[in-house]
């Protein structure tokens, strides 16, 4: 994830904070065992609550990333 994407995600999360939501819901970013990343965003309490997307994986970088 590049810096711009991470900054966008941080800004979006901040906008959805209401004093309670940020203590119960959040964003999980993890490494996975086959050289990649997994991200889960809990959309409860946001306008996107009924939205689902399964983006195709993208390959960028090198074996050293």
| 59 confidence band (pLDDT: 50, 70, 90) | low
Statement: residue 60 has pLDDT above 80: no
**Integer Cα distance of 30 and 37 in angstroms:** 6
Structure tokens at 25: 């819901």
Buried b (16+ CB within 10 A) or exposed e, 9-36: eeeebeebeeeeeeeebeeeeeeeeeee
Specify which residues 29 forms β-bridges with.
Answer: 39
Chain-centre distance for alpha carbon 40:
6
Q: Where are the domains of the chain?
A: 1-56
The pLDDT tens digits for 9-47 are: 889 888 888 888 888 888 898 998 887 888 888 888 888
Q: Output the pLDDT for position 65.
A: 52
């Amino acid at each position: 994830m590049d810096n711009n994407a991470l900054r966008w995600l941080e800004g979006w999360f901040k906008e959805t904070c209401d004093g309670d939501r940020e203590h119960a819901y959040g964003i999980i970013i993890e490494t996975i065992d086959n050289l990649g990343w997994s991200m889960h965003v809990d959309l409860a309490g946001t306008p996107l609550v009924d939205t689902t997307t399964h983006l195709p994986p993208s390959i960028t970088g090198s074996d050293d990333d």
